[in-house]
Amino acid sequence: MFKVEIKNLKTKAHIGIPEKERLRAQPLTVTLSFKYSIAKKNQLDDIKYLKDYSTITKSLKIFIENSRYKSLERLIVECSNEMKKNFQLKDVYVSINKVAVAKRYGCESLRVSQ
């Protein structure tokens, strides 16, 4: 079983409980990790059996940038579902940091994960 981590992907999303907060895209950093298996050793160098990290990263970023959820919790659940569905990933973990909100409150991060 292989574990892949895409850490601190920079993106933006229209997110927030108040409508006013969703008017402008907010900067986010996103971490996605997942596991997958390869059945046979001779498949380790064959791209058709491997996960395309570039495609997964781009898909995650586009999904988040096109989203319009109110809460980080909802965005995390939907990101996880989207990645599982589109790429057949196992043990998906998503963590999102609201960068600007953290700075506003003088903290290093304001992160929600599942």
Q: For residue range 48-88, what is the model confidence (pLDDT) as tens digits?
A: 889 999 999 999 999 999 999 999 999 999 999 999 999 99
Structure tokens that stand for 15 in this block: 């997110």
Query: Which helix (H) or strand (E) element contains residue 9?
Result: strand 2-13
Q: Where do the domains of the chain lie, and which CATH numbers do they carry?
A: 2-113 (3.30.1130.10)
Calpha distance 61→19 (Å, rounded): 22
Q: What per-residue confidence (pLDDT) applies to 13? A: 97
- Exposure letters 2-39 (e unless 16+ CB within 10 A, then b): eeeebeebebebbbbeeeeebeeebebbbbbebebeee
Q: What per-residue confidence (pLDDT) applies to 101? A: 84
